[in-house]
Amino acid sequence: MSLDSLVIAGKTFSSRLIVGTGKYSSHAVMVKAHEASGAEMITVAVRRVNISDRTKESMLDYIDTSKYFLLPNTAGCYSAEDAIRTARLGREAGLSNWVKLEVIGDERTLFPDNEELLKATRVLVKEGFVVLPYTSDDQVVCRKLEDAGAAAVMPLGAPIGSGLGIQNVNNIRIIREFSRVPLIVDAGVGTASDAALAMELGADGVLMNTAIAGAQDPVAMAEAMKLAVKAGRLAYLAGRIPRKLYASASSPIEGLVGRSLTPSP
């Protein structure tokens, strides 16, 4: 069975894994990890250029933009206004009108401020952006984002960078059932089984950064994530068996050695 593609806002991606560019020990490791991940879409952050120190290399020197689709984020923004400014800057710095929209509401948990997120989504959609909002695992918020014109919904599995895995499986399942736009599980993945679980629940994709960049061997973890996302997608499409409390034998009862099927006289 061949894997189906991920389509967001009319653009087709053969990989359902979206990876970040933060926290890598070196550009070289990042490049290898991206390669191993098989991802086609990668996230980047928008930050002020260091005016006094121009020696730092540009990250774009290490990203082949003919091969990877750049998704600028608005990470670190705490208001709709800042997120909108950052999205507009990202559009000019980059090559597309796509944005991973983040409006953070709390410093410690990095949970989204969904009220500001909705505000920013409405404005940016009106300006022609393809908005992919990072949000809570809340079906009502996801529906409102969808109604506001978001091209996908990206609920968290767990807090950003926590590696806790998907904390509320049922919420993701419910969002899957209701969502008419692609569902990307964004944040919280710790290891391959978390990514596989997200896909088995019916997510259309998974977005991660720390799980790969922070692994002891990021390149190996990137490959693990690629396989997990594929395995999870296949399992979802294959349709799992229902859960049962008791056993159901896999081998036939008939023809067992030493067992008599006819009652003894």
Partner 1 sequence: MPHLTPLNIILNGDSFDLDEPVTIASLLAKLDIDARRVAVEHNMVVLKRASFDSTTVREGDRVEIVNFVGGG
Residues 6+ apart with CB under 8 A from 50: 56
* Position 20 contacts partner 1 (CB under 8 A): yes
Label residue 97 left, alpha or beta by phi (over 0 means left) and psi (-120 to 50 means alpha). alpha
User: Of the ranges 45-53, 169-177, 218-226, 246-254, which one interacts with partner 1 (CB under 8 A)?
Assistant: 45-53
Residue with tokens 């879409």: 41
Q: Contact at 8 Å (CB) between 47 and 24? A: no
Beta carbon nearer to partner 1, 139 or 189: 189
Footprint of partner 1 on residues 140-169 (CB under 8 A)? 160-161
| Choice from 41, 44, 83, 183 touching partner 1 (CB under 8 A) | 44
**d(Cα 136, Cα 189) in Å, to the nearest integer?**
15
The CA-atom distances, in angstroms, between 5 and each of 36, 67, 71, 98, 151 are: 19, 17, 18, 19, 16
**d(Cα 188, Cα 19) in Å, to the nearest integer?**
13
Residue 199 C-beta-side C-alpha neighbours within 13 Å:
29
**d(Cα 192, Cα 194) in Å, to the nearest integer?**
5
> Pattern 174-213, binding to partner 1, x per CB under 8 A?
-------------x-------------------xxxx---
> Pattern 207-246, binding to partner 1, x per CB under 8 A?
xxxx------------------------------------
Q: Output the smallest distance, CB 131 to partner 1, in A.
A: 17
Catalytic residue among 100, 119, 226, 230: 100
Footprint of partner 1 on residues 71-110 (CB under 8 A)? 72-73, 75, 85, 88-94
Chain contacts with partner 1 (rule: CB under 8 A): 20-24, 30, 43-49, 51, 54, 58-60, 70, 72-73, 75, 85, 88-94, 160-161, 187, 207-210
Residues identified as active-site = 100
